[in-house]
A and B are shown apart, each in its own frame.
Chain A
Amino acid sequence: MTTATIIQSLASGLLMGLLYGLVAVGLALIFGLMDVTNFAHGEFLMLAMYISFFLFAFFAIDPLLSAPLVGAAMFVFGAVAYLFIIRFAMRAKANIGMVQIFTTFGLAILMRGLAQYFFTPDYRSINVSWLGGKTISFGGIFLPVPQLVGALVSLAAFGALYFFIKKTDFGRALEATREDAGAVALVGIDKNRVFALGWGLGSALVGLAGAVMAMFFYIYPDVGASFALIAYVTVALGGFGSVFGAFAGGIIVGLVEATTALIMPPSLKAVGIYAVYLLVVFIRPRGLFGSI
């Protein structure tokens, strides 16, 4: 194993990690806002990838251009999912934790079924995008352009999210609701609207991730499942509720995965991620950046 191989895989790991972070950050946002883990997060990602695919197949819009469209579509989808399903799960008087787990889980199964029904179980891919198959090299390290662009989109999205939360009225309402949903109602902020906005925003972020990932992953009804568990681990690693934690968690997960792949059979690369997660939470039960 040469130094070049190690640097090469760490570089790929970093790019992948930024994407994991982007997938996870929407989850972290929703969790931080209302203490709900969306177990259909992977299916939201899958839907976004299909939207991107169909925009490409029918209108020949490159995934890079369609990313904002996919994000917008997913914003609407997330807000609607909140208003028509999640909102009712939050009303449960008993077993609220289980109710939200199984409601979102049921939604995941439903979405997977619908995807199989309407899109068939076939594997699809967008292999002729502008960037498809291109690589660039930095001092002997080769980086695939789609992944590199994906990482840049991810960084930009984090920046935009940070700006949104800190500088806009809606962002401040979001932060306030997360602090104390009851008090917020007293100053005339509609909690439901803020939650719907949170779901929309979280889903728009995973929509962006899906559009970018559609450039270099196969698209099929179960694709979300494989990324969802990594997203939960990423969020928990960073600390539930911490958007910055999800970002840092993503990078760590990407690097750990790349390192594990160097020393273990590829089929075991996820074991490294899981082991690091367990190690971190056993030492710090609230994740790296989670508040106590």
Chain B
Amino acid sequence: MDQAHAKRRRRDLIVAAVLACIAALVPLFVKDVYVQNIMVLTLMYAALSQAWNILGGYCGQISLGHALYFGLGAYTTALLFTKFGVLPWFGMLGGGLISAVIALALGYPTFRLRGHYFVIATIVIAEIGFLLFHNWDWAGAALGIDIPVRGDSWAKFQFTRSKLPYYYFALVFCCVAWLVTWWLENSKWGYWWRAVKDNPEAAESLGVVVFNSKMGAAAVSAFLTAIGGAFYAMFVSYIDPESVMTFQFSLLMALPAVLGGIGTLWGPVLGAVILIPLTELTRSFIGGSGRGVDLILYGTVIVLISLARPEGLIGLFSRRPASKGAPR
């Protein structure tokens, strides 16, 4: 069993490396800027959903307030850059650390809550963040922040002539998020999380420090989410509370993992690859009419997938259906 497990992990790593190489070569053949844009977003959401998956999937703490961390990453980077000229790299790191600290501070009271009380607390906390930024004049309030172009360079993380640098950063970000998850999955924390998710009381009685392992998951998850926010701010070069901190956004981060398969390594990647192009294409091809056809399609797909494949689409790829496996 252990040998099979090690083999599976090695196989995952090889598959990931092959996929990453293919993804790195794709822009050589796909020159269309619109398509490249979708690819950047897909990679970004794959990484964000992977980050969400650490807390929501592996640890079983369903947060629908991750927009808060995303927004904090975006705002820290944008504010430091526009107000003080601090390079986005430091903003990115700073935003990540701020988010991790805030996740720990919020985890302290919220992890005592169960089920829907926890879910609603996460929504409400993110909503408070949204309202505060919406009213915070120094941070641009409802108008948001326009990030000025200061020349193309990796140092300033601004590229006006080509989307490729953003693409490669998103690819690296996605790989890092995947690797972190891959590594954590097999760590002490990873086992703790699954124990906490399945049965917190039993885990506690077996000596798992439930609370600490939840805190760890929250900090890692928030840090990675904020990196995504920082990247997004520089990528679109304009942020406002509506575009980075709304509830819709929290859902968009959770959705790929849910559709792909939560608590799995490949679920978020698969979910993002299907969902994000679908979202973007429906939005631009039929959403332009303002008649909501994109929403109709999008909503139908979500309902159908969650009803037809509750364990996520990843179940289609495994030889042993998750639902018929050993009781978990």
A 78-116 contacts with B by CB, 8 A: 85, 88-89, 92-99, 101-103, 105-116
Query: For residue B291, which residue of chain A has the nearest CB?
Result: A117
Q: How far is the CB of B29 from chain A (nearest CB, A)?
A: 34
Q: Is the CB of B132 within 8 A of A271?
A: yes
Q: Is the CB of B307 within 8 A of A274?
A: no
By the criterion of a CB under 8 Å from any partner CB, how many residues of chain B are at the interface?
47
Q: Is the CB of A229 within 8 A of B247?
A: yes
- Answer whether A268 and B135 are a contact pair too, CB < 8 Å, given A95-B310, A99-B306: yes
Once bound together, how far apart are the Cα atoms of A270 and B126, in whole Å?
12
Q: Is the CB of B307 within 8 A of A89?
A: yes
Cross-interface CB contact of A116 among B251, B290, B297, B312, cutoff 8 Å: B290
A 151-181 contacts with B by CB, 8 A: none
A 260-292 contacts with B by CB, 8 A: 265, 267-268, 270-271, 274-275, 277-278, 281-282, 285-287
* A102 CB contacts on chain B under 8 angstroms: 255, 258-259, 302, 306
Q: How large is the interface on A (under 10, 10 to 19, 20 to 34, 35 or more residues)?
A: 35 or more
Q: Is the CB of B296 within 8 A of A114?
A: yes
Cross-interface CB contact of B290 among A88, A98, A121, cutoff 8 Å: A121
Q: Is the CB of A113 within 8 A of B298?
A: yes
Once bound together, how far apart are the Cα atoms of A85 and B305, in whole Å?
12
Q: Is the interface of A mostly helix, strand, loop or mixed?
A: helix
- Inter-chain CB contacts under 8 Å: number: 142
Once bound together, how far apart are the Cα atoms of A107 and B290, in whole Å?
19
Query: For residue B114, which residue of chain A has the nearest CB?
Result: A285
Q: How far is the CB of B40 from chain A (nearest CB, A)?
A: 24
Q: Is the CB of B109 within 8 A of A282?
A: yes
Cross-interface CB contact of A229 among B125, B127, B296, cutoff 8 Å: B127
Cross-interface CB contact of A101 among B62, B132, B259, cutoff 8 Å: B62
Once bound together, how far apart are the Cα atoms of A103 and B292, in whole Å?
19
- Answer whether A236 and B310 are a contact pair too, CB < 8 Å, given A93-B323, A109-B298: no
Is A37 part of the binding interface, using a Cβ–Cβ cutoff of 8 Å?
A: yes
* A195 CB contacts on chain B under 8 angstroms: none
**A-B pairs with lowest CB-CB distance, top 10:** A116-B292, A113-B295, A110-B299, A106-B302, A92-B310, A109-B299, A113-B296, A106-B303, A113-B292, A94-B311
Q: Is the CB of A107 within 8 A of B296?
A: no
* A71 CB contacts on chain B under 8 angstroms: none
Is B120 part of the binding interface, using a Cβ–Cβ cutoff of 8 Å?
A: yes
Is B115 part of the binding interface, using a Cβ–Cβ cutoff of 8 Å?
A: yes
* A77 CB contacts on chain B under 8 angstroms: none
Once bound together, how far apart are the Cα atoms of A267 and B251, in whole Å?
24
Q: Is the CB of A110 within 8 A of B124?
A: no
* A92 CB contacts on chain B under 8 angstroms: 307, 310-311
* A282 CB contacts on chain B under 8 angstroms: 109, 112
Interfacial residues, chain A to chain B (CB-CB below 8 A): 31, 37, 85, 88-89, 92-99, 101-103, 105-117, 120-121, 221, 225, 229, 232-233, 236, 240, 265, 267-268, 270-271, 274-275, 277-278, 281-282, 285-287
Q: How far is the CB of A129 from chain B (nearest CB, A)?
A: 28
Q: Is the CB of A107 within 8 A of B303?
A: yes
Q: How far is the CB of B224 from chain A (nearest CB, A)?
A: 20
Q: Is the CB of B131 within 8 A of A267?
A: yes
Q: How far is the CB of B38 from chain A (nearest CB, A)?
A: 20
Q: How far is the CB of B267 from chain A (nearest CB, A)?
A: 10
Known: A102-B306, A107-B299, A270-B127. 6 other contacts (CB 8 A): A92-B307, A101-B119, A112-B292, A112-B295, A240-B115, A267-B131
Q: How far is the CB of A286 from chain B (nearest CB, A)?
A: 7
Q: How far is the CB of A278 from chain B (nearest CB, A)?
A: 6
* B119 CB contacts on chain A under 8 angstroms: 37, 101
Q: How far is the CB of B113 from chain A (nearest CB, A)?
A: 5
Q: How far is the CB of B309 from chain A (nearest CB, A)?
A: 9
* A270 CB contacts on chain B under 8 angstroms: 127, 131
Cross-interface CB contact of B117 among A101, A113, A117, A240, cutoff 8 Å: A240
Once bound together, how far apart are the Cα atoms of A28 and B311, in whole Å?
27
Q: Is the CB of A113 within 8 A of B307?
A: no
B 125-140 contacts with A by CB, 8 A: 125, 127-128, 131-132, 134-135
Q: Is the CB of B117 within 8 A of A267?
A: no
Q: How far is the CB of B233 from chain A (nearest CB, A)?
A: 23
Q: Is the CB of A275 within 8 A of B128?
A: yes
Q: Is the CB of A240 within 8 A of B116?
A: yes
Is B322 part of the binding interface, using a Cβ–Cβ cutoff of 8 Å?
A: yes
| Max chain B Cβ within 10 angstroms of own Cβ: one of A112, A285, A286 | A285
* A37 CB contacts on chain B under 8 angstroms: 116, 119
Q: Is the CB of B292 within 8 A of A114?
A: yes
Cross-interface CB contact of B306 among A31, A89, A117, cutoff 8 Å: A89
Q: How far is the CB of B261 from chain A (nearest CB, A)?
A: 9
Once bound together, how far apart are the Cα atoms of A275 and B129, in whole Å?
11
* A281 CB contacts on chain B under 8 angstroms: 113, 117, 121
Q: Is the CB of B113 within 8 A of A277?
A: no
Is B41 part of the binding interface, using a Cβ–Cβ cutoff of 8 Å?
A: no
Cross-interface CB contact of B120 among A236, A268, A271, cutoff 8 Å: A236
Interface string of B307-328 (1 = CB under 8 A from A): 1001110000000001100000
Q: Is the CB of B293 within 8 A of A117?
A: yes
Is B185 part of the binding interface, using a Cβ–Cβ cutoff of 8 Å?
A: no
* B292 CB contacts on chain A under 8 angstroms: 112-117, 121, 221
Cross-interface CB contact of A267 among B134, B258, B294, cutoff 8 Å: B134
Q: How far is the CB of A71 from chain B (nearest CB, A)?
A: 25
